[in-house]
Protein backbone atom coordinates (compact mmCIF):
# COMPACT_ATOMS: atom_id res chain seq x y z
CA UNK A 1 0.00 0.00 0.00
CA UNK A 2 1.40 3.35 -1.04
CA UNK A 3 0.90 5.73 1.89
CA UNK A 4 1.60 8.69 -0.37
CA UNK A 5 -1.73 8.11 -2.11
CA UNK A 6 -3.74 7.59 1.07
CA UNK A 7 -6.72 9.91 1.47
CA UNK A 8 -7.81 11.76 4.61
CA UNK A 9 -11.24 11.11 6.09
CA UNK A 10 -13.09 13.27 8.60
CA UNK A 11 -15.91 11.24 10.19
CA UNK A 12 -18.54 13.02 12.29
CA UNK A 13 -20.87 10.55 14.00
CA UNK A 14 -23.03 10.57 17.13
CA UNK A 15 -21.89 7.06 18.09
CA UNK A 16 -18.57 7.56 19.87
CA UNK A 17 -18.21 3.81 20.53
CA UNK A 18 -18.40 3.15 16.79
CA UNK A 19 -15.79 5.84 16.10
CA UNK A 20 -13.48 4.45 18.81
CA UNK A 21 -13.80 0.94 17.38
CA UNK A 22 -13.10 2.20 13.87
CA UNK A 23 -10.10 4.20 15.04
CA UNK A 24 -8.62 1.15 16.82
CA UNK A 25 -9.04 -0.96 13.68
CA UNK A 26 -7.37 1.68 11.52
CA UNK A 27 -4.58 2.08 14.08
CA UNK A 28 -3.79 -1.64 13.80
CA UNK A 29 -3.36 -1.12 10.06
CA UNK A 30 -1.30 2.08 10.51
CA UNK A 31 -4.05 4.13 8.88
CA UNK A 32 -5.12 6.20 11.88
CA UNK A 33 -3.08 9.21 10.68
CA UNK A 34 -5.61 9.57 7.86
CA UNK A 35 -8.72 9.30 10.04
CA UNK A 36 -10.18 12.17 12.05
CA UNK A 37 -13.17 11.08 14.17
CA UNK A 38 -15.52 13.51 15.92
CA UNK A 39 -18.83 13.12 17.68
CA UNK A 40 -19.51 16.85 17.81
CA UNK A 41 -20.13 18.89 14.65
CA UNK A 42 -18.72 22.15 16.02
CA UNK A 43 -15.55 20.49 17.33
CA UNK A 44 -15.07 18.98 13.87
CA UNK A 45 -15.47 22.39 12.23
CA UNK A 46 -12.96 23.88 14.67
CA UNK A 47 -10.52 21.10 13.70
CA UNK A 48 -11.13 21.86 10.01
CA UNK A 49 -10.46 25.56 10.58
CA UNK A 50 -7.28 25.09 12.62
CA UNK A 51 -5.75 21.89 11.22
CA UNK A 52 -6.89 21.80 7.60
CA UNK A 53 -7.67 25.30 6.34
CA UNK A 54 -5.10 27.33 8.31
CA UNK A 55 -2.36 24.81 7.51
CA UNK A 56 -3.44 24.60 3.86
CA UNK A 57 -3.90 20.83 4.05
CA UNK A 58 -6.21 18.68 1.99
CA UNK A 59 -9.18 16.72 3.24
CA UNK A 60 -10.59 14.14 0.83
CA UNK A 61 -13.78 12.88 2.48
CA UNK A 62 -16.19 14.03 5.14
CA UNK A 63 -18.66 11.47 6.41
CA UNK A 64 -21.49 13.19 8.21
CA UNK A 65 -24.04 11.39 10.39
CA UNK A 66 -27.60 12.73 10.28
CA UNK A 67 -27.97 12.45 14.07
CA UNK A 68 -25.22 15.04 14.54
CA UNK A 69 -26.96 17.75 12.52
CA UNK A 70 -30.61 16.65 12.34
CA UNK A 71 -32.04 19.72 14.07
CA UNK A 72 -29.84 22.09 12.09
CA UNK A 73 -29.58 20.22 8.81
CA UNK A 74 -29.75 23.17 6.43
CA UNK A 75 -27.52 25.53 8.41
CA UNK A 76 -24.95 22.79 9.07
CA UNK A 77 -24.74 21.86 5.40
CA UNK A 78 -24.42 25.54 4.50
CA UNK A 79 -21.53 25.87 6.94
CA UNK A 80 -19.76 22.90 5.36
CA UNK A 81 -20.43 24.40 1.95
CA UNK A 82 -18.64 27.60 3.03
CA UNK A 83 -15.56 25.58 4.02
CA UNK A 84 -15.54 23.12 1.13
CA UNK A 85 -13.37 25.16 -1.26
CA UNK A 86 -10.81 25.81 1.49
CA UNK A 87 -10.52 22.06 2.04
CA UNK A 88 -9.86 21.37 -1.67
CA UNK A 89 -13.42 20.17 -2.29
CA UNK A 90 -13.70 16.92 -0.34
CA UNK A 91 -16.52 14.51 -1.10
CA UNK A 92 -19.25 14.94 1.51
CA UNK A 93 -20.98 11.66 2.34
CA UNK A 94 -24.21 11.90 4.33
CA UNK A 95 -25.13 8.79 6.34
CA UNK A 96 -28.30 7.97 8.21
CA UNK A 97 -30.24 5.17 9.84
CA UNK A 98 -33.39 6.78 8.47
CA UNK A 99 -33.89 5.44 4.95
CA UNK A 100 -36.70 7.47 3.46
CA UNK A 101 -37.07 9.26 0.16
CA UNK A 102 -38.08 12.57 1.76
CA UNK A 103 -34.84 12.86 3.73
CA UNK A 104 -32.75 11.65 0.78
CA UNK A 105 -34.36 14.21 -1.53
CA UNK A 106 -33.90 17.02 0.98
CA UNK A 107 -30.25 16.17 1.62
CA UNK A 108 -29.35 15.64 -2.03
CA UNK A 109 -30.77 19.07 -2.91
CA UNK A 110 -27.71 20.51 -1.18
CA UNK A 111 -25.00 20.68 -3.83
CA UNK A 112 -22.38 20.09 -1.17
CA UNK A 113 -23.48 16.45 -0.65
CA UNK A 114 -21.79 13.88 -2.88
CA UNK A 115 -23.44 10.67 -1.63
CA UNK A 116 -26.22 9.44 0.65
CA UNK A 117 -25.57 6.19 2.54
CA UNK A 118 -27.84 4.18 4.81
CA UNK A 119 -26.33 2.67 7.96
CA UNK A 120 -24.85 0.34 8.86
CA UNK A 121 -21.80 1.46 6.92
CA UNK A 122 -19.56 -1.56 6.12
CA UNK A 123 -16.65 -1.81 8.54
CA UNK A 124 -14.04 -1.65 5.82
CA UNK A 125 -15.62 1.34 4.01
CA UNK A 126 -13.40 3.97 5.65
CA UNK A 127 -10.31 1.84 5.01
CA UNK A 128 -11.36 1.66 1.36
CA UNK A 129 -11.74 5.46 1.21
CA UNK A 130 -8.28 5.93 2.73
CA UNK A 131 -6.39 3.36 0.67
CA UNK A 132 -8.50 3.08 -2.46
CA UNK A 133 -8.50 -0.70 -2.14
Instruction: Look up the CATH number of the domain holding residue 104.
Output: 3.40.50.2300
Mean pLDDT across the chain: 91
pLDDT at 2: 66
pLDDT at 53: 92
The parent domain of residue 45 ranges over 3-131
* More confident site: 69 or 92: 92
pLDDT in tens, 103-123: 888 888 888 999 999 999 887
Per-residue pLDDT band at 69 (split at 50, 70, 90): confident
Whether 12 contacts 38, CB under 8 Å: yes
* More confident site: 1 or 45: 45
Give the total number of structural domains in the chain. 1
- The pTM assigned to this predicted structure is 0.91
Half-sphere exposure of 35 (CA within 13 A, CB side): 24
Whether 56 contacts 89, CB under 8 Å: no
pLDDT at 103: 85
Amino acid sequence: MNKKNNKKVLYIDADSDFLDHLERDLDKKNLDDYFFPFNDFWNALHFVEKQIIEKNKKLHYIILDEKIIARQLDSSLEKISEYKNYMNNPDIIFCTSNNNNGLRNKVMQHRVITAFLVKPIPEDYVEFLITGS
